[in-house]
Amino acid sequence: MQALAEQGIDGEKISAQKKIARLKARFDFTSSDPTETPDLFLGSFKRSTTARWIYSFGRNEFDVANSVKWAIESATKIKCVYRDVDLLAEATPTTANKLMEIATHIAHSFRALLEKFSAVEGVGVNDRGVFVMGLYDGMMNEVRNVGQRLPSRASQMKMS
């Protein structure tokens, strides 16, 4: 949009400038530049055969909890498991402490953004899952193709 506002032709420039002005009036863009935000997953992460506590989630935060779990597993290749509301990671004590900081940062950020999102007029409870997935994709720099299905819950096997 900024490129169009600066270099657009045949009315694109004026339209883009107006759109940017409307967006700036409606949203706060004063947060830090993403390129200035340190990489949460910078450094080395060591696995262990022992699962250590990382974070506890509320019972109604399945989507946020899964985003934290997926982010940790994707970025570090360290397996995570749930025990009731607790997220555990198969990590050394030092790595577990770092993962606890990461989980806290992600969970608090997602909660704050969800609170703002939920306050927008017209947003319903059914919009939450897609919004959280968008937050996850943005955080992990993932791109979904048009029509690509969102990840779903792991299927549970019935005990006979």
Given a cut of 50, whether residue 109 has pLDDT beyond it is yes
Can you say how many angstroms the Cα of residue 157 is from the centroid of all Cα atoms in its chain?
28
d(CA 151, CA 68): 14
Question: Model confidence over 115-127: pLDDT tens digits?
Answer: 888 888 888 878 8
Question: Model confidence over 72-101: pLDDT tens digits?
Answer: 998 999 999 999 999 999 999 999 999 999
Model pLDDT, residue 149: 65
Give Cβ neighbours of residue 53 (< 8 Å, ≥ 6 apart): 86, 87, 88, 96, 100
pTM, full prediction: 0.65
